[in-house]
Amino acid sequence: MAFKDIIKFFSPKDTTFYPLFIKATKDLVALSENLHEAVNIGKSEMENRTNFYKQIEQLVADVESTNHKMNIELSKNFITPFDREDIHMLITTISEVSNNIYTASNRMNLYNVAKINKSIRKLTEITLETANHINNAVIELKDLKNLDKINSAVKKIYKLESKADLVFDKAVAELFENETDAINIIKYKEVLSALHKATDKCKDVARTLEAISVKHA
């Protein structure tokens, strides 16, 4: 039996960190779902968009609370399921993704962005898909036996992030080319930038997951 397997055998089952990670990633998926629903809502249901924004506000607060609890547990527990710095980095980057999703939502709400263009819809779609891959990868952290599933999710996240870069660049170029109202340019650019940054932070989550996978290969 390899030394790392002996350590695993004698280490207590993780009943603290894993549930917190699952809570954070489930909330992240819910955040992404709410924003995607908000930007795809029909004209006859526009008043319901505010309800989605409110749900997003509550969910981001929940992720922040989970982040806080995780840091408290890190300070209290000597034994952790994997490296302490990776635990801290993973929950931090998940929180950063959620914060940027909230920023996009908040800007749409505050700036009264009623007309949602196809680029915003596409970026929320990419964010939702990426959040699901993050959740799927985090599920595999329970026993770290299915590293292939983690690595597969990481590759998909990287690919989606590259796709988001192209969507963002094209959206900004079209915005400057076709929009004549300077205020609208600022509004849409701010929303697009927040969504783009959310996908960038998803890549940071993927890097941390990849590092954990490498260390346990």
Provide the pLDDT for residue 88. 94
Provide the pLDDT for residue 80. 83
Domain boundaries, the chain: 14-215
Determine the CATH number of domain 14-215.
Answer: 1.20.58.220
The length of the chain is: 217
Residues near 202 by Cβ (< 8 Å), separated by ≥ 6? Answer: 97, 127, 130, 131, 134, 157, 160, 161
**CA distance linking residue 93 with residue 202, whole number of Å:** 7
Q: What is the pLDDT of residues 30-88, one digit of tens each?
A: 999 999 999 998 765 777 888 999 999 999 999 999 999 999 998 887 788 888 899 99
Phi-psi region of 112 (alpha: psi -120 to 50; beta: other; left: phi over 0): left
Q: What is the pLDDT of residues 131-188, one digit of tens each?
A: 999 999 999 998 888 899 999 999 999 999 999 999 999 999 999 999 899 999 999 9
Q: 137 and 154 in contact (C-beta within 8 Å)?
A: yes
